[in-house]
Structure 1
């Protein structure tokens, strides 16, 4: 055992208090013993009977009075010191357990109080539900509106959470934009937990005002269940986190209960993320190219670059398996630029009439330096800017239109063409055409696929074609999969198309062969093909 400085201070203070108390007690006893005689002598002297009090006794009395006053003052000081020390300790304990921004418990305190709640609920034969809420698009709030706005959003979110939850609920902020709530409930009342979760999600889906600016967020909520005291808080938080991300994958702004099957999905996701990080420097991500043709003549006019993962361990992995993981993990920007660089190196061998179209991820349009990064690739590879077309999806334009305008204007100044991809799927397509300098419109494949047998879909495609004509913007139709659709698009006036009918996305070698056969490229070698990984299974190594 050893004494800390704090315990030593308290020990020394206690010794001083004992000494002071002893002196005061002695002074009071002396006052009682001497005060009567001295005061009696003083009174007699005043009325002319006898001499004055003994000088020594009088001095002792004065000293006794002084000591008593000193003791009283020390007593008050001691009380004040104890009170201040107690308040300081309570404040320190509060700060150690509480998130200062929201007033909720912090992670450390949650683990302790939550484990206690699980044990108490189990003793009462009750279950415990743990809600883990993650605010959707919170990073964008900080990026666009600043950290003061982000703090305000967190405070309002906490207020709304507290307003919805019952008083008995445990509330905590894990950090960042993640909140936790714990509720003990009767096992037969699970529907009440569903209703409460839905109410929380709805409460956080309302806009928040900051500096007269509306900020809209949302929340994805995962729920974990503890039915006995053996469940640990760490397990509940992890399970709720898994369920929450499952909800984000399903479209956000919803609540999802944890299920055991979700564990495998998380393991696969982590496996894919690790593979992406390891595979980028090894050059495992390569461009494939989907032909774009003039529908009326069949003339090849360009290619859209599509990313593929050629893994030496797992085979050829389709983009729908790894692109979402790359976006969630923040790797999509680096990954996209690496593959675009490779595509530019390949496309330098193409005839100047063949356009290279590249898709830009929404996250890349949040990067103020994206235009400079793409321009740097053009300079370093020597690829002509006039041969490059950047495709921007409508869904990426809603969060920060001024930044997107700055990026696309810079690219236009370099001579790069711009295409509005998936046109018609957003909420404000016409306003985007007016606000941004696009050169081409791409009709979303959902409208093209529905044309056969759907007069409404045909009318939509025709309206988009006429809109393009009025704005002097050529139209490209995506998802052309048969001759009848191609003929109908030609009849409606759509000049350019792409899809399986014209050719599937192919490797660089196969694309080079296609171009060489048409006299648009010198021939190159053909690498061996790789097997394609099954979309729904965990990645498995090839033999």
Structure 2
């Protein structure tokens, strides 16, 4: 039996079918023989011309009729059972080979079908394009709208893909939010596959309904092709092509998402390096190689130290001191950012516990952490373990956090503020949030992004933006912090905007806890009421005015040179 397009066809018979059919056939032959023997006697008896047929033969004839009826009934029953069993086997095979949610092939059956397509294309001097599709940020749909909404979105995406892919292609959902296609094409017509990838991006990126909500999702697509030398003239394996398409897909995702890329060997090297880097990050977390550094935060009008911002650094034994701009995005991609952040925050709380109680500690929170509904409880647990007053802690979140589940973010921030923790909106001015949204969240401070601050003395547009943001903060009763203060000229411009806090390399580069003694002692002396400004206490303490600023600026320029 084979199943084709859902129909069932009998290709042979089973032994019990032959026996039943043989009994019925024999009974029919016997029926004919006995019937021909007693038929004339029965007719003659009815017409009164004879004694009638022999009673024994009549009984045999009637029994023969019963056997025929029973045998035929049994034969039909067995045949029906056979058909139903074969249909059940076909259904079981279909379930084993397809994804129940979308009806596409599953991973195992896709590999088999793709191998067939590659072999057929190889014989016909054609090629097969392998297309790996991954939905961007699909996890957010599940997290914020439930798995039923996620399933509905997957079905909708599958239907859109099926309407686009050429006839004769293989379509598969190979797991989670990943789809794979094998599409035959002419080797000299790569543009056909490019157009297919562009159409897929456009169609998948259309707004979709998932349950009762409207969701938007994009895709990253990787492509590879089978027309390359194989082993001993044989076509390359479908498994290898799918892996190459997967590498290209991740390359497209890391390049900005909602795009597609063709595989090239250099991508393989990059992915191997990235895999090694990811493993080093995990190993570094296990060995406590990630440590907090601290950048001073200064009251610009008084020059007093008000606190420190904690910045994570990776002291790798093989790579040296690694910047967070390098390892944090990767840690977010591999789902390790929450654990990494907890490691450095725990150490920072222990360090800051020894500082003067008037000094605050600011820590950055990843958008990934705010997706965790238990984040507030985890942070409070760290505070309790370190015996650190919540009032001295500030958390800084970026505007990108507000593009996610705003209701959950508001709940988390409110919970933290109720415990005394202060909340700063970091990189203000770089996002697209409305003022109404800004006021709807319980922020205590806004921080102007360094991209505006560093050129405030030379760029009139940036100067106007900084001035406007400072006035906005004053109007909303939200204190302002300016980051990226690197020159005396920038500081001079900022001081005309009123009461601001600031930080930047003009006040010294971030240092580990063991090198904060000088800064902390200067701050302690300033608070003893000596009558002297912090600048007069130490030539290297807080370079806010005069010769100290020039000296610090010269050091900064020398380091950059």
| TM score, norm. by length of structure 2 | 0.87
Partner of 2:313: 308
Q: How do residues 366-445 of structure 1 correspond to structure 2 at under 5 angstroms?
A: 366-445=371-450
TM superposition outliers: structure 1 runs of 4+ over 6 Å:
none
> Residues 475-519 of structure 1: CA distance to partner in whole angstroms, max 9, x if unpaired?
111222222122112223361222222222111122233222443
TM-fit CA distance, 1:420 = 0.4
* Aligned-pair CA distance for 1:429: 4.2
What CA distance in whole angstroms lies between the structure 1 residues aligned with 2:144 and 2:332? 19
**Structure 1 residue runs without a partner (length 5+):** 1-12, 522-543
CA distance in 1, matches of 2:456, 2:227: 53
Separation (CA, whole Å) in 2 of partners of 1:17 and 1:464: 88
User: Equivalences for 1:48-87 in 2 at 5 Å?
Assistant: 48-87=48-87
2:299 and 2:499 in contact (8 A); partners too: no
Residue 449 of structure 1 and its aligned partner are, at CA, apart by: 3.2
For residues 386 and 120 of structure 1, the distance between their equivalents in structure 2, rounded to whole angstroms, comes to 70
Counterpart of 2:185 in structure 1 is 185
Paired residues for 1:491-506 under 5 Å:
491-493=496-498, 495-506=500-511
- The CA distance in 1 between the partners of 2:189 and 2:314, in whole Å, is 47
> In structure 1, how many angstroms separate the alpha carbons of the residues matched to 2:515 and 2:410?
36
Partner of 1:8: none
Which structure has more RCO (C-alpha within 8 Å, separation ≥ 6)?
1
The answer as to whether partners of 1:476 and 1:494 remain within 8 angstroms in 2 is no
Measure the CA separation in 1 of the matches of 2:243 and 2:17. Answer: 52
Deviations 1:441-495 (A, max 9, x none): 0111222234344322222212211110011101111222222122112223361
Contact kept in structure 1, 2:173 and 2:179, CA below 8 Å:
yes
Aligned residue in 2 for 1:26? 26
Please, which of 285, 291, 305 is the counterpart of residue 290 of structure 2?
285
Q: Corresponding residue for 2:197?
A: 197
SS at match of 2:368: helix
| Helix, strand or coil at the partner of 2:128 | strand
- Deviation of the 1:173 alpha carbon: 0.3
CA distance in 2, matches of 1:300, 1:159: 60
Report Cα offsets for 1:27-55 as digits up to 9, x if no partner: 12221211012121111111111112110
Are the equivalent residues in 1 in contact too, given 2:20–2:75 (CA < 8 A)? no
Q: 2:349 aligns with which of 319, 344, 367?
A: 344
Matches within 5 A, 1:512-523: 512-519=517-524
Deviation at 1:380, TM superposition (A): 1.2
Mean CA deviation greater in 213-222 or 257-266: 257-266
Q: How many residues align?
A: 509
Contact 2:197–2:260 under 8 Å retained in 1: yes
* Contact 1:477/1:494, CA 8 A, preserved across alignment: no
Structure 1, 97-106 or 495-504: larger mean CA deviation: 495-504
Task: Please list every run of 5 or more consecutive structure 2 residues that lacks an aligned counterpart in the other structure.
Answer: 1-12, 229-233, 527-561
Q: Distance in 1 between matches of 2:257 and 2:454?
A: 27
- Mark the CA change 1:221 to 1:82 in structure 2 (over 3 Å): closer, same or farther: same
- Within the alignment, does 1:126 sit opposite 2:126 as a pair? yes
> Paired residue for 2:336?
331
Q: CA deviation at 1:520?
A: 6.4
Calculate the aligned-residue CA RMSD, in Å: 1.8
- The 2-side partners of 1:119 and 1:453 are apart by 64
User: Higher mean Cα deviation, 236-245 or 451-460?
Assistant: 451-460
User: Is the CA contact (8 Å cut-off) linking 1:465 and 1:494 kept in structure 2?
Assistant: no
Report whether the alignment pairs 1:475 with 2:480.
Answer: yes
User: Counterpart of 1:280 in 2: which secondary structure?
Assistant: helix
